[in-house]
């Protein structure tokens, strides 16, 4: 059981090479997006660009 707890705590940690600003930007984009896609561009293991494509649906 203890190894499962260790695995969860590791996954909650910030990934190596990812800034807190990038993580906050991704979280913000996900929270605002209802339909669409989020694309991350990574160079040398670091997030360098965030693209959000929003879809608007009309009934």
- The pLDDT tens digits of the residues spanning 6-19 come to 544 444 566 666 78
**What distances in angstroms separate CA 23 from CA 28, 41, 42, 49, one per listed residue?**
9, 13, 13, 12
d(Cα 23, Cα 52) in Å, to the nearest integer?
Answer: 14
- The pLDDT tens digits of the residues spanning 38-56 come to 999 999 989 999 999 999 9
Mean pLDDT of the chain: 82
Instruction: Record the tokens describing residue 26, joined without a space.
Output: 């991704």
């Amino acid at each position: 059981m203890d190894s499962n707890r260790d695995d969860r705590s590791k996954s909650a940690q910030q990934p190596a090479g990812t800034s807190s600003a990038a993580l906050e930007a991704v979280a913000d984009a996900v929270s605002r997006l209802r339909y669409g896609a989020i694309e991350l561009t990574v160079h040398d293991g670091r997030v360098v660009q965030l693209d959000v494509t929003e879809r608007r649906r009309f009934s």
